[in-house]
Chains A and B, each alone.
Chain A
Amino acid sequence: MSEVKVHHYQYDVVIVGAGGAGMRAAIEAGPHVKTAVISKLFPTRSHTGAAQGGMAAALANVEEDNWEWHTFDTVKGGDYLVDQDAAEILAKESVQAVIDLENMGLPFNRTPDGKIDQRRFGGHTRDHGKAPVRRSCYAADRTGHMILQTLYQNCVKLGIEFYNEFYVLDLVMNTVDGVERPAAVVAYELATGELHVFQGKSIVFATGGFGKIFKTTSNAHTLTGDGVGIIYRKGLPLEDMEFYQFHPTGLAGLGILLSEAARGEGAILRNSSGERFMERYAPTIKDLAPRDMIARAMANEVREGRGSGPNKDYVLLDLTHLEPAVIDAKLPDITEFARTYLGVEPYTEPVPVFPTAHYAMGGIPTNIKAEVLRDNTTVVPGLYAAGECACVSVHGANRLGTNSLLDINVFGKRAGIYAVEYAKDAQFVEVPQDAIAETVKLIEHMRNATGTEKIAVIRKELQETMDKNAQVYRTEESLNEALEKIKELRKRYENIQVQDRGMRFNTDLLEAIELGFLLDLAEVLAFTARERRESRGGHFREDYETRNDEKFMVHSMAYKTDNEIKIGWKPVTITNYPPMERKY
């Protein structure tokens, strides 16, 4: 082992990740206790900034609405796998979450009388499904950008300490009085290759998703699930990993996201004969049905030969009946994406679209205080998670559009508040002598990896098998094929090649490490998807086409054991809404 320089720090609250959830937590924690935010990216590069359409809250600024309707929609949208106590908190606290952001300076679009404007979005309805409701608060089609900027601006205002381009690679745990608790995280500094040990009384994971396990994805290159993977490697469970959302309207062939806000503003999906096919699948709310239903409907249109284009392999998003002025004011970015990347003019031509991997409903299990769970009920004291990396579970089997920007604000804030509360009374957990040994071993292994397998080749094959076998349609056979393939790729991963041997800005080495997390998480997804032999929300099994509440009205809990994945099941919290058939 070459001598690597190691730095040590102590903070009351250590937050991993500087997207929406991490920075929202930091804004709660920073003014009260010594807080650090560690991020693999400069904060405003985080993928929260790519979110477009809006943030749900029953403000009732433009029409009648209330948080109970929002709760119901969230539960039904998630195909009843949602924990209803958590959904209630999400909906109830949404109004304050929007007001917080407005007060921090977020430039929402406004109504003529100066209030925050709201628009329609999929699955959000008035009075339990009667008609679409205007619930999404927005800033043009760059709501996520404005949230990310506003949160960062407020972190600057509060003087929050950031460690940017620091890759957290390990969570160090230690046992105190028979209870395992987090002691520190170990981070690799991109600029220098040096290691940094951040001891924290409370540690918050807000590390985002892992959409790069798929080939066609709206996710950033950096969304490799490092945080979720670290938790899993510690032997802690991951919840509902089989539930992955495919957003209906990715730019065909590219996966770049076109917001559901387009349909919220009136855009229509059409097949090759120009038919508005969603009328057949969701007669009441049509193009504003939840994402899982629309994504499947689109894939089905293509499979049955009604796709558009030379290969009949996409459908069309038609905005041509919208006024150009409306498009410019409310959907400027996404229409520019169509122009830039496909050369299509949305004023006059329909845009080719197809489902794209978008959002992990599952992740690190938490309770409503954002505390991480080590099994169905036991809390890991001092460890918190929020945002896409977490599963609380407010999204169940399918997340509604605009509920993720809400999730990061509500549960990011909660994570901050409870992390502070804990840190105020807690002592630091001792960092064991060999705390960095695992990380050093991993890095040195990669830096000196002289195998024959290329990182990009393994990653591409992984992404291809996931697109082919674990996308909107799944079967026992396809999932077994994915698992077999992943097993083979794992073997080849041991023989990987890293070309850059340097200490400074070694992104080659980090891509190799990230690939390890992708392999882990893809395997858990395919495994839990195979074990859930029913269809629910975003998880559709062609060999088990219906929802089976008797057997599967439970969350999956996947644990890493020595050589295999162990699966457990956790009850769903039901308060007011007994499961019903899900029709729109």
Chain B
Amino acid sequence: MRTAGESVKVIGEVPSFQVTLIVRRFDPENDVEPKWQDFDVTVHGTDRVLDALHKIKWELDGSLTFRRSCAHGVCGSDAMRINGRNRLACKTLIKDLDITQPIYVEPIKGLKVEKDLVVDMNPFYQAYRDVKPFLIASDSPKAERLQSPEERARFDDTTKCILCAACTTSCPVFWTDNQYFGPAAIVNAHRFIFDSRDEAAEVRLDILNDKEGVWRCRTTFNCTEACPRGIEVTKAIAEVKQAVLRGRV
């Protein structure tokens, strides 16, 4: 009889290589200013930046602090600036970066740094809640509402948002004015404004017609580039702007 463990090894040996990560550190209990710290780690071909951060935390320095959960790009916990670009650490393969150079890792910008790569997400969540991100309908159906595939497709793209804040914290307007709702909140407003079952589009359009609303957007497309879910964020914002101008969907 074979032993129970024989079947569990998977995939061949993956080549390993050395990389240097330069991580922005801040200890709120001891530091006045953030500082950079270098770490050299050995990683494998399938490793992501999150794996390298775990290696540092688990083998070199247990105090390195960052948020993470699912580790495959669906929970939205680990948005950070990697080589100057907002990405999810769990979705960024190290081999896809230029590994002849050190990899710079720092917190997303525009939100207060709490510790190392952890930022205060509360202003971001508040902006999301402020756009009324829930279905508002006056009917009380006993059965399922009907919605055609075309109506459903109208807002499909913006249902993908995982609230990681990669878009909002890549926006130069948000960096200078964090009263601005920011791309993620507008994306989540879009998701309901264009849902055929919803009846409160005008309420949300009114909210976003505010001076801190959609008109702050300068169409730099940073948000679209940053979105790890591939949402066409700038397009969604443009659609909301048009709806505001028309006064309807």
CA distance in complex: A311, B7 (Å): 11
Query: Which residues from chain A contact B197 at a C-beta distance below 8 Å?
Result: 105
Q: When A105-B135, A153-B135, A542-B1 are in contact, do A110 and B147 touch as well, CB less than 8 Å?
A: yes
- Tell me whether B72 and A216 are in contact (CB under 8 A): no
CA distance in complex: A467, B6 (Å): 10
Q: When A191-B114, A340-B91, A469-B4 are in contact, do A153 and B69 touch as well, CB less than 8 Å?
A: no
Check if B246 is an interface residue, CB within 8 A of chain A.
Answer: no
CA distance in complex: A46, B75 (Å): 7
Check if B127 is an interface residue, CB within 8 A of chain A.
Answer: no
- Tell me whether B155 and A472 are in contact (CB under 8 A): no
- Chain A 309-359 residues near chain B, CB threshold 8 A: 309-311, 313-314, 333, 337, 340-342, 352, 354
Q: When A49-B70, A504-B28 are in contact, do A542 and B115 touch as well, CB less than 8 Å?
A: no
- Tell me whether A500 and B63 are in contact (CB under 8 A): yes
- Tell me whether B148 and A44 are in contact (CB under 8 A): no
Query: Which residues from chain A contact B161 at a C-beta distance below 8 Å?
Result: 149
Query: Which residues from chain B contact A475 at a C-beta distance below 8 Å?
Result: 1, 3-4
Query: Which residues from chain A contact B142 at a C-beta distance below 8 Å?
Result: 99
1/0 contact string of A150-174 vs chain B (CB within 8 Å): 0001101100000000000000000
- Within the complex, what minimum Cβ distance (angstroms) separates B97 from chain A? 14
Q: Which residue of chain B has the shortest Cβ distance to A356 in the bound complex?
A: B10
CA distance in complex: A309, B10 (Å): 9
Query: Which residues from chain B contact A467 at a C-beta distance below 8 Å?
Result: 5, 8
- Chain A 172-199 residues near chain B, CB threshold 8 A: 191
Check if A102 is an interface residue, CB within 8 A of chain B.
Answer: yes
CA distance in complex: A262, B148 (Å): 24
Q: Which residue of chain B has the shortest Cβ distance to A107 in the bound complex?
A: B159
Check if A299 is an interface residue, CB within 8 A of chain B.
Answer: yes
- Tell me whether B152 and A110 are in contact (CB under 8 A): yes
Check if A399 is an interface residue, CB within 8 A of chain B.
Answer: no
- Tell me whether A303 and B58 are in contact (CB under 8 A): no
- Within the complex, what minimum Cβ distance (angstroms) separates B94 from chain A? 12
- Tell me whether A311 and B12 are in contact (CB under 8 A): yes
Q: How many residues of B sit at the interface, in one of the four size bands?
A: 35 or more
- Tell me whether A222 and B159 are in contact (CB under 8 A): no
CA distance in complex: A116, B143 (Å): 11
Contacting residue for A114 out of B58, B75, B147, B156, CB 8 A: B147
- Tell me whether B8 and A41 are in contact (CB under 8 A): no
- Tell me whether B146 and A114 are in contact (CB under 8 A): yes
Query: Which residues from chain B contact A56 at a C-beta distance below 8 Å?
Result: none
Check if B27 is an interface residue, CB within 8 A of chain A.
Answer: yes
| Interface segment out of the listed A138-146, A410-418, A422-430, A432-440 | A138-146
Check if A42 is an interface residue, CB within 8 A of chain B.
Answer: yes
- Tell me whether A314 and B7 are in contact (CB under 8 A): no
- Within the complex, what minimum Cβ distance (angstroms) separates A104 from chain B? 6
Query: Which residues from chain A contact B69 at a C-beta distance below 8 Å?
Result: 41, 45, 47, 220-222
Query: Which residues from chain A contact B68 at a C-beta distance below 8 Å?
Result: 221
Residues of A in contact (CB 8 Å), total: 88
- Tell me whether B162 and A49 are in contact (CB under 8 A): yes
- Tell me whether A456 and B58 are in contact (CB under 8 A): yes
Check if B160 is an interface residue, CB within 8 A of chain A.
Answer: yes
- Within the complex, what minimum Cβ distance (angstroms) separates A216 from chain B? 7
- Tell me whether B65 and A505 are in contact (CB under 8 A): yes
Check if B33 is an interface residue, CB within 8 A of chain A.
Answer: no
Check if A302 is an interface residue, CB within 8 A of chain B.
Answer: yes
- Within the complex, what minimum Cβ distance (angstroms) separates B56 from chain A? 11
Query: Which residues from chain A contact B160 at a C-beta distance below 8 Å?
Result: 142, 145
Check if B141 is an interface residue, CB within 8 A of chain A.
Answer: yes
- Tell me whether B159 and A149 are in contact (CB under 8 A): yes
Check if B93 is an interface residue, CB within 8 A of chain A.
Answer: yes
Q: When A157-B134, A505-B114 are in contact, do A220 and B71 touch as well, CB less than 8 Å?
A: yes
Q: Which residue of chain A has the shortest Cβ distance to B55 in the bound complex?
A: A456
Q: Which residue of chain A has the shortest Cβ distance to B2 in the bound complex?
A: A303
Contacting residue for B144 out of A46, A98, A478, CB 8 A: A98
CA distance in complex: A310, B9 (Å): 12
- Tell me whether A499 and B63 are in contact (CB under 8 A): yes
- Tell me whether B63 and A50 are in contact (CB under 8 A): no
- Tell me whether B152 and A107 are in contact (CB under 8 A): yes
1/0 contact string of A12-53 vs chain B (CB within 8 Å): 000000000000000000000000000001101111011000
- Chain B 40-99 residues near chain A, CB threshold 8 A: 46, 54, 57-59, 61-63, 65-66, 68-77, 91, 93
CA distance in complex: A45, B76 (Å): 6
Query: Which residues from chain A contact B134 at a C-beta distance below 8 Å?
Result: 104-105, 153-154, 156-157
- Tell me whether B125 and A42 are in contact (CB under 8 A): yes
- Chain A 430-476 residues near chain B, CB threshold 8 A: 454-456, 467-475
- Tell me whether A342 and B146 are in contact (CB under 8 A): no
Pairs of residues from A and B, 4 with the lowest C-beta to C-beta distance, nearest first: A105-B135, A456-B58, A499-B62, A253-B11
Q: List 30 A-B contacts (CB under 8 A).
A: A41-B69, A42-B77, A45-B75, A45-B76, A50-B72, A107-B155, A108-B152, A110-B151, A114-B146, A149-B159, A154-B134, A216-B10, A220-B71, A221-B68, A300-B7, A309-B11, A314-B11, A341-B93, A342-B46, A454-B58, A456-B58, A472-B7, A473-B2, A473-B7, A478-B5, A502-B27, A504-B28, A504-B114, A505-B118, A542-B2
Given contacts A45-B77, A502-B63, 4 further A-B contacts (CB under 8 A): A157-B132, A220-B70, A468-B5, A508-B63
